Chain A
Amino acid sequence: MQRVEFDQDSTSAVNPVDDSSLTVEQAIANLHHQDKGLRYYAAWWLGRFRVRIPEAVTVLIEALEDEADRTSDDGYPLRRNAARALGKLGDTRAVPGLIACLDCSDYYVREAAAQSLGMLGDTTSIPGLMKLLAGGCADAIPIPGLPHLAQPYDAAIEALGALDAREAVSLIQPFLEHPMELLQYAACRSMYQITQNPIYGDRLIQALKNEKLQLRRAALADLGAIGYIKAADAIALTLAENSLKLISLKGLLESEVKQTGDTLSADAIRVMDLMDNLL
């Protein structure tokens, strides 16, 4: 029973008490609806509301092979949404289908699959993700007329970091020097996760001072994802929305608390002080 609403400084917020446009049963049924708009929406909805039930996973896995819904440039909208949703449902039954999507002709399907494989944490996806980086920085150049590179390098790099893929270090490392800052940040994030070397975390702290807001936001997300506790003060001082700083600090806090357990460390308390002041 949920309705989606928009917040002034967050991407979305949900009000679970309100009437909804869909129920779980309807959403699952709608994935076979003849209206492709309803199929597309249902796939998104199942992920958004984390409908972690086997029937939902099953229909979404089927939707990864959808042929009916195509965009004018041969994209697969339903596959994209199904791949995104499966990452959020935490069921590793989706892994083989998502690995197959890494070879899909649609860039956005490959991107969604890479992101979701990073979330699902199954190391069998490492070779497929490494293949996306095969050409290295030489191939990672803008394609005239397209808003993206040849491969979703950032998604693949981040997924490999989340999977702690030591074997991918030599593929990821060159991206630390890629001309696009976003790819450098992705490489820093990933290299930090794999090696725990602070030089990568420190580079992301520097990135919080980038003159472009979009890049400062990316660095906030990366630091939150790696839970780099040394970044706490720098995060609080970044010129960006409080909501994004709070999410980043939440990442630091949770990573700290997971390490220290029930006794709150001085660092955890410091992060909460910073969060209190950003409310």
Chain B
Amino acid sequence: MIATTDLLAQKLIQAVEEADSSLRLLTAVQNLAQARINAAIPTLIQVLGYNNPGAAVAAVDGLILIGEPVVSPLLEKLDDYNYGARAWAVRALAGIGDPRGLNTLLVAAKTDFAMSVRRAAAKGLGNLHWHQLPPEQVETSLLEALEALIQVSQDHEWIVRYAAVVGLAALLNVTSTRPDWQARIIAQFEQMLTTDDNLAVCSRIRLAQQSN
């Protein structure tokens, strides 16, 4: 059984390495991603650096499916990456939700120059799996995410503010032990409703208020 899995993994990885057209690469990465095997991790991470958006989307999906085992190798490679690959890595970390990605997401949400990265990171900050942290770290980490999201909710791009609202709405649900933080989120929503001129952002705030 193990031998068959290994053999399959080897074939799927080989197909990615040997792909000689953009379309073949996409198909090979999609197949490898769907296999959901740990052996695929280095190859999928490598694809993030290929400057091929279609293949990168498929690789990000595959990395998110594998989940937790991806986080360490991804964080290790992050610094060496070119900009494009780093953006995809942030999207993968946001999708996986492992709290070891917290610092990367904080920096990305606040400072990345691409709005697509800031928006992915903002949503990710609301959706980390906080229970995986050692209990003594939960509160400080939540507070860091909360403060970053309040800052990001003033981003100049509407879609980043929209994503920050999505992140803050998620935090509202996990901070029931800290009514003071919930009050900050609620106050931030109120304030944005009076100052934000973007109808989509305001609608998302109203949805968050309504579901709470």
Closest to A17 in B: B156
Q: How far is the CA of A246 from the CA of B166 in the complex (A)?
A: 14
Give the docked Cα–Cα distance between A241 and B156 (Å): 21
| Interface residue? B206 (CB, 8 A) | yes
Count how many pairs of residues, one from A and one from B, have CB atoms less than 8 Å apart in the complex. 68
Is residue B186 contacting chain A, with contact meaning CB distance below 8 A? no
Taken residue by residue from 180 to 212, chain B's Cβ proximity to chain A (1 for < 8 Å, 0 otherwise) reads as: 000000000000000000011001101100100
Find the A residue at minimum CB distance from B124: A279
**Is the pair B156, A16 in contact by a Cβ cutoff of 8 Å?**
yes
The reply to whether the CB of B143 lies closer than 8 angstroms to some CB of chain A is: no
Interchain CB contact under 8 A, A269 and B163: no
Q: Are B116 and A242 in contact (CB under 8 A)?
A: yes
User: Which residues of B lie under 8 Å from residue A250 when comparing CB positions?
Assistant: 158-159, 200
Q: Which residues of A contact B123 (CB under 8 A)?
A: 276, 279
Task: Give the size range of B's interface with the partner.
Answer: 20 to 34
Asked if A254 and B200 sit within 8 Å, CB to CB, the answer is yes
Q: Is the CB of A254 within 8 A of B199?
A: yes
Report yes or no: A10 in contact with B203, Cβ–Cβ below 8 A.
no
State whether A253 touches B156 (Cβ < 8 A). no
Contacts of A13 in B (CB 8 A): 113-115, 156-157
The reply to whether the CB of A35 lies closer than 8 angstroms to some CB of chain B is no
Q: Which residues of B sit under 8 angstroms from A25, Cβ to Cβ?
A: none
8 Å CB interface, A2-41 against B: 5, 7-10, 13-17
CB of A158 to closest CB in B, whole Å: 22
B84 at interface (Cβ–Cβ under 8 A)?
Answer: yes
- Kindly list chain A residues whose C-beta atoms are within 8 Å of the C-beta of B204: 272, 275
Q: Is B156 a contact partner of A279 (Cβ separation < 8 A)?
A: no
**Given A10-B115, A279-B123, also A264-B203 (CB < 8 A):** yes
Partner pick for A243 among B87, B159, B166, CB 8 A cutoff: B159
- A14–B158 Cα distance when bound, in Å, is 11
Cα separation A14 to B123 with both chains bound (whole Å): 21
For residue B70, give the distance in angstroms from its CB to the closest CB of chain A.
Answer: 20
> Whole-angstrom distance between the alpha carbons of A245 and B119 in the complex?
14
**CB neighbours of A262 from chain B (8 A):** 206
- Indicate whether A258 reaches chain B with its CB closer than 8 angstroms: yes
Give the complex CA separation of A253 and B199 in angstroms: 8
Residues in chain A near residue B163, CB distance under 8 A: 279
* A9-B116 CB under 8 A given contacts A243-B159, A272-B207, A279-B123: yes
Inter-subunit contact A243/B203 (CB<8 Å): no
Bound form: Cα–Cα A250–B161 in Å: 13
- Chain A, 241-275, CB within 8 A of any chain B CB: 241-243, 246, 250, 253-254, 257-258, 262, 264, 268-269, 272, 275
Q: Is the CB of B162 within 8 A of A275?
A: yes
Provided the pairs A9-B116, A264-B207, A264-B210 are in contact, do residues A253 and B159 lie with their beta carbons within 8 angstroms?
no
B113 with A7: CB separation less than 8 A: yes
B152 within 8 A of A: no
Q: Give the residues in chain A near B156, CB-CB below 8 Å.
A: 13-17
Least CB separation from A246: chain B residue: B159
Chain B residues contacting A275 (CB-CB under 8 Å) are 162, 200, 204
- Of all chain B residues, the one with the shortest Cβ separation from A253 is B200
Q: Does B108 contact A (CB under 8 A)?
A: no
**Which 6 A/B pairs are nearest by Cβ-Cβ distance?**
A279-B123, A254-B199, A250-B200, A7-B114, A279-B163, A16-B156
Selected A-B contacts with CB under 8 Å, 10 pairs: A7-B114, A7-B116, A10-B115, A242-B116, A250-B158, A264-B206, A275-B200, A276-B166, A279-B119, A279-B166
